[in-house]
A and B are shown apart, each in its own frame.
Chain A
Amino acid sequence: MSDHCGAPGDRGAGGVGVATPRIALAGSPNAGKTSIFNALTGLRAKTGNYPGVTVSRFVGTSRINGRQYVIEDLPGTYSLAPISPDEQVMVDVLDGRLDGETPPDAVLVVVDATTLRRSLRFAAEVIGRGLPTAVVVTFTDELTARQGALDVEAFGQALGVPVVVVIGRGGQGADRLRELVDDWRSWAAPALAPPTDRAELDAWAESVLTFAGYRPPGRHRMTQRVDAVLLHPVAGTIVFLAVMVLFFQVVFRLAAPLQGYVESFFGWLSALVTAHVHNPWLGGLLGDALIGGVGGVVVFVPQIMLLFLLIAVLEGIGYMSRAAFLMDRVMARAGLEGRAFVSLLSSFACAIPGIMATRTLPSARDRLATMMAAPLITCSARLPVYVLLIGLLVDPSARVGPLGLQGLVMFGMYLLGAVSAMLAAWAFKKIGGRKGTAMPFYMEMPPYRIPTLRSVLIAMGESARSFLRKCSTIITVTTVVLWLLLNLPLHSAADLRAHGVDPGDDRAVSAYVTDHSYAAALGRGVAPVFAPLGFDWRINIGVLSAQSARETFVATLGQVAAAEDAEHPAQALRTMTYPDGPDAGQRVFTAPTIAALLVYFAFALQCMATVGILRRETGGWKWPLVAFGYLTTLAWVMAFLAHTVTAALTGGG
């Protein structure tokens, strides 16, 4: 092969293979691009990054009539005049200007039939780029339902490119689409190309639509009626708050029984290990470290799945953009915009997608401020920690009116995260100064739609999978390392006897080993730092181990507690006392200490994955270090405050 830039087609994306035709999907957000992508590729999408830039890339393969195709889902945009890094990538890919990349062999433009009078301008620009192009029309069912009309055949004739209708719901037209893709070599360039003069675009679009007998859809009556309530100044605000409260109540109430099943499953596994593995070391490593540690986190998967499910449903219905609309002015207070709200909202699942979503922010300062704020939003990794701590702090039967107190405290923690994030964004925006042109803010308000079960399940599954992937690597490694730290150095029977411990008494041995482990030394070493917050060395180990990933805290405390009382770890935590020091005999998990822990976890940047993504997105170590420094300091100060205030309120310390 020559050293020159290859001709289109001789370099496939992602190393899928030489000469595999590459088909790009272009279209505006909400046009149904993702469901077209899924219809073509199944669920085998590979995510990666575009070379040299940090915009994520979705690539999948499609096998049609025995031939393989690479399908690339380009970032959704309304225009080929880029104003954000995402849009720049989309244009660079189409023009083959991206380093080391050839342009795609052909382009599929996805247009929503109900917004043709807008999206045709975009389609015209893509067709004008000169690559073989075909148009996929979506939502024709909705067009018909709203008394609109489109003669698809005439539409194709007027455009001069192949046109196919695909209805996401039920997947009608997917087979025709696949046949069309297989036939991409015959996609002729239009005999009469769309005008290149932008002033003529409107007239051209008008003539195409007239020829295609296009009748625009009527207003979506249901959307109008629902919006009249959901966007009403009073009713809309009440509904918004109610949705948020309900959201967390559902996540808590419905998940509890499911968590019970997972818990008993891991209990059964652990018992199996105890029964069949007789080497105490191997048994401990398998049963306590691996099964106990991973199980302690997996137990929260039902809850996190439920959270992702609700987010996917609200997104699919179209409520998320309404929420962003209602919140835009609030975001403006922090100097941010509605798109930042979407990024912060993603951070409720995980700060990493949230930080990656800041790429849609055209202003670099907005982006940085949002990135610094995103780790404060309550991510799903904090959820297990909060569940554990709130469970220790609040009686499950306590109620305020019809609402469970546990759920309310949880809601409060989410609120604390959101408010702190806004304040942080505001502060970083202030520090950044006021210069540069304000980029336009706009957001489409899609009609309310009942999302398909499939699309909701896909969205939920993707999120759950990425959470579990994090569990399986970072958490497994940390729990195993921690178990080793907690169980080393080894003590001989003589050594034990010398310290007055009966080697035959398992509980005494395990308590002694833990108390004299490397982990204990480490935990005691940092004790002066955390003592004002009411943490003892066991909590310190948990906090230190949670530095790589927050959920590890639960596993760590689980291990520590299991060392004290393997039968009833939860009970052991509740009744855990200081073994020595000035507070000997007093309970470790008092209300002020739990409050301090909750607040510490709300602020601290205990997630190495987030630090990593910050480095990648900002292109250096400066901002991740700034984030780490300010969040850790803030966490300590706020936890100290929480400890002091709670101690004053409850009259204990």
Chain B
Amino acid sequence: MAPAASRLPAQPAGRIAALADFPPGSLVRVTGTAAEAPAPVVRRLEDLGFTAGSQVEVVRRAPLRDPTIYRVRDYDVCLRRAQAAYLLAREFDE
């Protein structure tokens, strides 16, 4: 348990983490949603463009750290940490 946890830094390269944990400037690909995410929230996040496979750029955090602007499907949308935590993403490798 302990070694596995220590191998999970805040923004693991190529590793899956919550979208909320990626710092501004990250370019990630959505891989899915967290198991505990409520269905209506998942549906809305999908309709906003955060579907599995979509590319997301973490643009900037608000001065008070929350919410964060994400760029997905050619537009900017801000999400609070609580919702961005429901989205799983992997750092984009190109």
A interface residues (Cβ-Cβ under 8 A, vs B) = 78-79, 81, 83, 114-118, 121-122, 198, 201-202, 216-217, 227, 231-234, 236-237, 325-326, 328-330, 332, 337-338, 437-446
Cross-chain contact B44 with A442 (CB below 8 angstroms): yes
Q: Per-position contact with A for B44-57: 1 when CB-CB < 8 Å, else 0?
A: 11111101011000
How long is the Cα–Cα vector from A338 to B69 in the complex, in angstroms? 13
Contact across chains for A118 and B49 when beta carbons are under 8 A apart: yes
The interface residues of chain A lying within 8 Å CB-to-CB of B40 are: 81, 83, 437, 439-440
Is B74 an interface residue, CB under 8 A from the partner? yes
In the docked arrangement, what's the CA distance between A114 and B41, Å? 25
- B79 near A441: Cβ-Cβ < 8 Å: yes
Does B2 count as interface, using CB distance less than 8 angstroms? Answer: no
A237-B73 in contact given A79-B44, A440-B44, A441-B79 (Cβ < 8 Å): no
Do residues A78 and B79 form an inter-chain contact, with CB atoms below 8 A?
no
Binds A, one of B5-13, B15-23, B59-67: B59-67
Q: Decide if A118 touches B63 in the complex (CB within 8 Å).
A: no
B83–A114 contact, CB under 8 A? no
Contact B74 A115 (CB under 8 A): yes
Nearest chain B CB to A552 CB, angstrom units: 40
Q: Determine the chain B residues whose CB is within 8 A of the CB of A330 once the complex forms.
A: 64
Chain A, Cβ-Cβ closest to B37: A440
Partner of B38, one of A78, A201, A437: A437
Contact yes or no, B44 A443, CB < 8 A = no
Contact A445 B78 (CB under 8 A): yes
Cross-chain contact of A83 among B44, B49, B62 (Cβ < 8 A): B44
Q: Are A326 and B47 neighbours in the complex by a CB distance under 8 Å?
A: no
A198 and B63 contact, CB distance less than 8 A: no
Sample of 9 further A-B pairs with CB below 8 A, known A78-B48, A328-B67, A330-B64: A117-B74, A118-B48, A202-B53, A202-B54, A328-B80, A329-B62, A329-B64, A437-B41, A442-B78
The reply to whether B75 and A329 contact each other, CB–CB distance below 8 Å, is no
4 nearest A-B pairs in the assembled complex, by CB-CB distance: A329-B64, A79-B47, A233-B63, A445-B76
Rounded to whole angstroms, the CA-CA distance of A310 and B43 in the bound complex is 36
* Chain B minimum-CB-distance residue to A79: B47
In the bound assembly, the distance between CA atoms of A605 and B40 in angstroms comes to 37
Partner of A114, one of B53, B64, B75, B77: B75
B51 to A: closest C-beta gap in Å? 6
CB proximity of B16 to chain A, nearest CB, Å: 20
A438 CA to B41 CA, complexed, in Å: 9
Q: Which residues of B are found within 8 Å of A201, using beta-carbon distances?
A: 51
- Chain B residues contacting A202 (CB-CB under 8 Å) are 51, 53-54
The reply to whether B83 and A442 contact each other, CB–CB distance below 8 Å, is yes
Given the contacts A78-B47, A78-B48, A114-B74, A329 and B66 also touching, CB distance less than 8 Å: yes
When the two chains form their complex, are residues B77 and A440 in contact, meaning their CB atoms are under 8 A apart? no
B82 at the interface (CB under 8 A from A): yes
Question: Do A441 and B80 touch (CB < 8 A)?
Answer: yes
How far, in whole Å, are A328 and B77 apart by their CA atoms in the complex?
A: 13
Q: Which B residues are in CB contact (< 8 Å) with A442?
A: 44-45, 48, 77-79, 83
Known: A78-B48, A118-B49. A326 touches B78 (CB 8 A): no
Residue of B nearest to A81 (CB): B43
> In whole angstroms, what is the CA distance A115 to B71 when docked?
11
| 9 residue pairs bridging A and B, Cβ less than 8 Å apart | A79-B44, A115-B73, A117-B74, A325-B67, A325-B78, A328-B62, A439-B41, A443-B78, A444-B77
